[in-house]
Amino acid sequence: MNDAVHSQDLPDFEGLLRQALSPVDPPEDLANRLEATLTSLTDLAAEELEGWELGAMRDPRNWTRIARPVAAVAIGGAAGAGLVILRVRAGRKHRRAGASGTLDYAEQTVKAVADEARKLLDR
């Protein structure tokens, strides 16, 4: 009897890896759900900051209450940046098709980022 392991006895690791690492398409409504969530977060952060008074921070007893506004700025800023990226990314095919070259495409993308950020700040 031969002690050598036959290749048919070994699992097909390459096939298993190929199957495990195959691309998975995200749900079709993922972008819409993500945009709605990010919009909600920016709105909540803005509401939190509207009620906060900078003048109240002159009193040291109020310094412990700074955590909520700081969290609102951080969360709102991150959600807003994500929202801008998501919206700019959604229009990339249109910009690429209309661009005359790489530099034009880059300029259009920078303009789209500025426009989306301005829209977000104007709300």
Q: Across the chain, how many H-helices and E-strands are there?
A: 5, 0
In this model, does residue 3 exceed pLDDT 60? Answer: no
Whether pTM exceeds 0.85:
no
In sequence order, which residues have a C-beta less than 8 Å from that of residue 72 and are 6 or more positions away? 44, 45, 46, 48, 49, 52
88 — pLDDT class (breaks 50, 70, 90): very high
Predicted local confidence at residue 1, as pLDDT: 47
In this model, does residue 6 exceed pLDDT 80? Answer: no
The answer to whether the beta carbons of residues 109 and 89 sit under 8 Å apart is no
pLDDT in tens, 28-67: 898 899 999 999 999 988 888 887 776 666 777 777 777 7
Task: Single out the residue of 50, 51, 40 nearest to residue 75, CA to CA.
Answer: 40
